[in-house]
Amino acid sequence: MNATLIGIIIGIVLIFLFSLIKKDSKFAYLGIKLSRIYCPKCNEKQPIVRKPNNQRQALYGGHTCRKCGTEMDKYGEEIAK
């Protein structure tokens, strides 16, 4: 075992743990959503690879629907502007 391998294993474990965070948890902003989400308004499937449109999306994830422009968080819930 070398240091690189240990680092990779720790990274995988952390991603797994963060993906278990529930969206109503106080740590929700740290959570990772691994499954696809859908627009809350028009049900458009959001792409896995996202291009952040603003600082909040860059930091915490989230999408802007390319069909209707609705902003949502990484759990697919609409964000009021």
Enumerate binding residues for Zn ion (CB under 5 A).
Answer: 39, 41-42, 44, 65, 67-68, 70
Nearer to Zn ion, 2 or 35 (CB): 35
CA 77 to chain centroid, in Å, comes to 11
Least Cβ distance, residue 66 to Zn ion (angstroms): 8
Q: Alpha-carbon distance 28 to 23, whole Å?
A: 5
Nearer to Zn ion, 15 or 78 (CB): 78
Provide the pairing of β-strand 63-64 with 71-72. antiparallel
Least Cβ distance, residue 5 to Zn ion (angstroms): 42
